[in-house]
Every structure is written in structure tokens, then in C-alpha cells.
């Protein structure tokens, strides 16, 4: 199955003997990975024009295992907010994703030394509670059959009182949640988009219904749920398509099961947008004439307030008691 | 009358306003986006001509025209 997703599987020579690496190779059904010296030898290559395939790289993380969250990311009231770069890049192909400005190509790199991440967390937890976005640079749920990392993060949340984790996804899988260790410190966040946005700008992702079904499966298994109407993407008929999307959510989701909701229109750092415009000259999202504020490109105030306000009003009307966060 | 294509409309609008280099960059980005998003820039040009906003004799009036064009391209709903 994984051979269908990846043209090649590369493994750093120093990781070949690791149990975690062997486990992932075994799950991938790979008996002959290509040994490399450093993950950057492959990962940092720019994708040639027209190349659509991608490679999988298994490596050790030579840098930090946890980073403090960026200002444009929501902390949901958590004071000590970090993200883990344990997997870099995503099997989905969202046109607006900051990963397009962050990484040179589409290859996916899994750092197999996840235990080192947990060791860093052990030290942090001695000082203060820690909240980690574990699926920040990837869609961890979509890769669960390969990595098993969602299970590891959930188990840690169950066993560590001062640790909580958010696993954000667009994946429509419904079969994994009942097998995971449940705790109220493992929050499953689902980015819900209108079908039109998913179809046009979030290539290879499931549509609205698939994501709602996954959300319900996670909720039924006992996990707290976060709904992310973020990023909202401006198109001329945005009002209509976001209304239809929200009505689907409202009719399918029990608000008592929702921990909170995030709202946010698209925004991106100026450096990433410059790279995306160069990479994607025909992209409607990359080429939109954003306004720049404090190093971030975003929609003009009229668009931002209209779209976010519209979404907030719909939520408050149907689900008046649910907490709503926005990124500002 | 044929709809003006992206490079032509940029040249024409530039010739009808007094723009700084920064404003030229902004106008070009609006034209690029309009071309991708299927927004007819000739429509707003005609409207601004009808309303006497175009052509612009100076930079101040050009700022007003630019704001109208931006609103049409980036904030229409």
C-alpha cells in the first residue's frame, strides 16, 4: 500500500538499526530501503518541474524536538504551547499550506527518534504543564498505519497529567479511534472545509462529510473534539459555501461533544508567501493581493471580519454554549 | 468590445493613473489574481471611466482609483 504513495524509501544509515525504523519499514512492507547519510540529502532537493511523486525518508532529528508555537497559531488558552516537527510534510496537497513555503519539495520525512521528543517533554513537564500540537507539520492520523505515532501521543497523554496534545487532521478514517488510549488530554482537531474548497484547493483530502464522520468516530470513542473552521478561504461565493458546510456540521455533530471551535481566515508569513508565489504562479490562493501586517499576509479587514463574523454568528446561533477561539 | 486580457489591462490602467513603484507592484498583483480568479478587470475600468475616476491626473486621485480596483478584485461579495 505504501509503495503506491512513495516512489522510494530512504533511510539514514545511522537509523537502520533502530527498532522504530525497522517497525516502520516493516509496516511499509519495505525490505530494501535506500541508505543515505543525511535526510537533507534527499529532503532538501527541489522537486523538478512536473514531478508529482514523493519519497519517504526515515531519519533522526538532529535539531530540537519541540518548538514554541508561532503567534499565528492558536494556543487555545494553553500557556506553554509547543509543536513537534516529528514528521515533516504531508500526504495531502493543500494549495495554501505553509509547508509549501517551508519545505523545498513534497518528500515526507519521519523522525524515528520519537523517544527523544518524549525525553524533552519529561524535562519540560518538570517545570510547567505542556501542550503540544503533534500534527503541526503533517497529518499524523493519515499516516497512522505507517507510524503508530498517534497511539504513542495518546498513550503519553493518558499517562502524564501535565501533558496534553492536539492531533489535527483532515483524514476521514473512522476505524482508528476505538483502538486508541482515551483521555481528555488528547484532543482530536478536525479541519472542516466546504466541499468546493476541498475540491479546488485541498487536493487528495476527503470532503466535508468524510471529515465530519471521522470527527464523530473520535467523539464516540470518548475523545474531546475540536472543530477548526480554519483556514477559511476567500472565494466570491464564500458565504454560500460556508453556510452549506456549517449546516452539515450542525445537523451531524452533538455540541455537547465539542471541546471548542477555532475560526480563522487564511494568513501566512511573508517569507512563505513569497516562496509560494514563485512556486505556484497560477494559484488563486497564493496570488491573492493580501495585505501585510506585522510580517504576515492576510485578507483585508473587510474580508476578514465579514468571513470570521459570519462563521461566528452561525456557530452562536446553533451552538451558543461552545467556546470559540480566533487567532487574533 | 472584446474583454481586455491581463497584460493589456495592466498596461492600460498604469497609463491612466499616476503610480509610485509600490502602487505599480500592487496593481500588477491585482491583475495577476484577477486573471487567475476569472475576474473581469475591464468591467471595473469601464465603471471608473464612467464615474470620472479614471483617468487620474495625480497620485492622490490614483490612490482612490486603486482603492476602488482593490475592493472590486479582492473584496467583492
Phi, psi of A49 (to 5 degrees): -55, 130
- Picking from A232, A200, A215, the residue whose alpha carbon sits closest to that of residue A169 is A215
pLDDT at A47: 67
pLDDT at B6: 58
Q: Which one of B13, B36, B71 would you mutate to disrupt binding with A, by most A Cβ within 10 Å of its Cβ?
A: B36
Selecting from B29, B32, B77 the residue whose C-beta is nearest the C-beta of A238 gives B77
Q: What's the CA gap between A191 and A210, in Å, rounded?
A: 11
Whether residue A280 lies within 8 A of chain B, CB to CB, comes out as no
Q: In what order do the strands lie in the sheet with A108-111?
A: A34-36, A8-12, A55-59, A108-111, A87-88
Has residue B1 been placed in a domain?
no
- pLDDT per residue as tens digits for the range A111-159: 999 999 999 999 999 999 999 999 999 999 999 999 999 999 999 999 9
Q: Average pLDDT, stretch B13-26?
A: 97
CA distance B37 to chain A (A): 6
Contact A133, A69 (CB under 8 A): yes
Contact A300 B37 (CB under 8 A): no
Q: Residue A106 region, left (φ>0) first, then alpha (ψ -120 to 50), else beta? A: alpha
Whether residue A305 lies within 8 A of chain B, CB to CB, comes out as no
Residues 11-70 of B with CB under 8 A from A: 26, 29-30, 32-33, 36-37, 70
Query: Domain residue spans in chain A?
Result: 2-326
Contact A289 B75 (CB under 8 A): no
Selecting from A282, A289, A299 the residue whose C-beta is nearest the C-beta of B73 gives A289
Q: What's the CA gap between B63 and A241, in Å, rounded?
A: 33
Segment holding A3, helix H or strand E? helix A2-5
Number of domains in chain B: 1
Predicted TM-score (pTM) of the model is: 0.92
Residue ranges in chain A whose pLDDT is less than 50? none
Residues whose CB falls within 8 Å of the CB of residue A228, separated by 6 or more in sequence, listed in order: A168, A189, A190, A191, A192, A261, A262, A264
pLDDT at A52: 66
Contact A94, A201 (CB under 8 A): yes
Is residue B5 over pLDDT 60? no
What is the b/e burial string over A174-213, where b = at least 16 CB atoms within 10 angstroms of the residue's CB?
bebbeebebbebbbbbbbbbbbbbbeebbeebbbbebbbe
Q: Which one of A289, A292, A298 would you mutate to disrupt binding with B, by most B Cβ within 10 Å of its Cβ?
A: A289
Q: What's the CA gap between A203 and A208, in Å, rounded?
A: 13
CA distance B41 to chain A (A): 14
Q: Is the preceding omega at residue B55 within 30 degrees of 0, hence cis?
A: yes
Nearest CA in chain A to B69: A289
State how far Cα A188 lies from the chain centre.
11
Task: Report chain A residues whose CB lies below 8 A from the CB of B36.
Answer: 282-284, 287
Selecting from B33, B71, B76 the residue whose C-beta is nearest the C-beta of A288 gives B33
pLDDT at A250: 97
CA distance B77 to chain A (A): 6
Contact A134, A140 (CB under 8 A): yes
Neighbours of A298 (CB within 10 A): 21
Residue the block writes with cell 499565528: A72
Whether residue A8 lies within 8 A of chain B, CB to CB, comes out as no
Share of chain B above pLDDT 70, in %: 91
Is residue B58 over pLDDT 70? yes
Q: Which domain range does residue B43 map to?
A: 7-74
CATH of domain A2-326: 3.80.30.30
Is residue B1 over pLDDT 60? no
Amino acid at each position: 500500500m505504501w509503495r503506491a504513495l512513495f516512489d522510494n524509501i530512504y533511510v539514514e544509515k545511522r537509523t537502520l538499526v533502530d527498532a522504530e525504523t525497522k517497525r516502520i519499514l516493516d509496516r511499509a512492507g519495505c525490505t530494501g530501503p535506500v541508505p543515505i547519510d543525511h535526510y537533507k540529502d534527499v529532503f532538501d532537493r527541489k522537486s523538478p518541474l512536473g514531478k508529482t511523486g514523493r519519497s519517504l525518508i526515515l531519519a533522526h532529528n538532529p535539531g530540537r524536538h519541540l518548538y514554541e508555537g508561532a503567534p499565528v497559531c492558536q494556543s487555545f488558552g494553553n500557556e506553554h504551547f509547543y509543536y513537534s516537527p516529528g514528521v515533516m510534510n504531508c500526504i495531502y496537497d493543500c494549495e495554501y499550506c505553509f509547508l509549501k513555503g517551508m519545505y523545498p519539495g513534497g518528500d515526507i520525512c519521519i523522525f524515528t527518534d520519537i523517544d527523544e521528543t518524549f525525553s524533552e517533554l519529561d524535562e519540560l513537564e518538570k517545570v510547567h504543564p505542556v501542550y503540544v500540537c503533534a500534527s503541526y507539520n503533517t497529518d499524523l492520523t493519515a499516516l497512522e498505519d505507517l507510524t503508530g505515532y498517534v497511539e504513542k501521543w495518546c498513550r503519553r497523554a493518558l499517562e502524564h497529567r501535565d501533558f496534553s496534545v492536539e492531533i489535527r487532521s483532515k483524514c476521514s478514517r473512522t476505524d482508528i479511534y476505538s483502538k486508541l488510549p482515551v483521555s481528555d488530554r488528547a484532543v482530536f482537531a478536525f479541519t472542516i472545509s466546504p466541499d468546493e474548497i476541498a475540491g479546488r484547493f485541498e487536493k487528495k483530502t476527503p470532503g466535508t462529510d468524510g471529515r465530519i464522520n471521522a470527527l464523530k468516530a473520535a467523539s464516540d470513542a470518548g475523545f474531546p473534539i475540536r472543530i477548526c473552521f480554519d483556514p477559511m478561504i476567500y472565494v466570491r461565493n464564500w458565504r454560500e459555501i460556508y453556510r452549506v458546510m456549517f449546516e452539515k456540521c450542525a445537523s451531524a455533530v452533538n455540541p455537547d461533544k465539542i471541546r471548542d471551535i477555532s475560526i480563522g481566515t487564511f494568513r501566512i508569513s511573508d517569507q512563505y508567501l513569497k516562496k509560494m508565489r514563485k512556486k505556484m504562479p497560477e494559484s488563486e490562493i497564493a496570488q491573492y493581493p493580501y495585505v501585510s501586517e506585522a510580517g504576515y499576509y492576510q485578507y483585508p479587514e473587510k474580508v476578514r471580519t465579514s468571513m470570521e463574523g459570519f462563521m461566528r454568528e452561525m456557530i452562536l446561533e446553533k451552538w451558543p454554549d461552545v467556546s470559540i477561539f480566533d487567532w487574533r | 468590445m472584446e474583454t481586455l486580457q491581463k497584460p493589456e489591462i495592466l498596461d492600460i490602467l498604469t497609463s491612466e493613473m499616476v503610480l509610485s513603484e509600490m502602487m505599480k507592484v500592487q496593481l500588477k498583483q491585482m491583475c495577476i489574481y484577477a486573471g487567475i480568479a476569472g475576474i473581469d478587470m475591464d468591467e471595473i475600468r469601464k465603471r471608473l471611466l464612467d464615474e470620472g475616476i479614471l483617468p487620474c491626473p495625480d497620485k492622490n486621485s490614483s490612490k482612490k482609483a486603486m482603492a476602488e480596483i482593490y475592493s472590486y478584485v479582492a473584496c467583492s461579495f
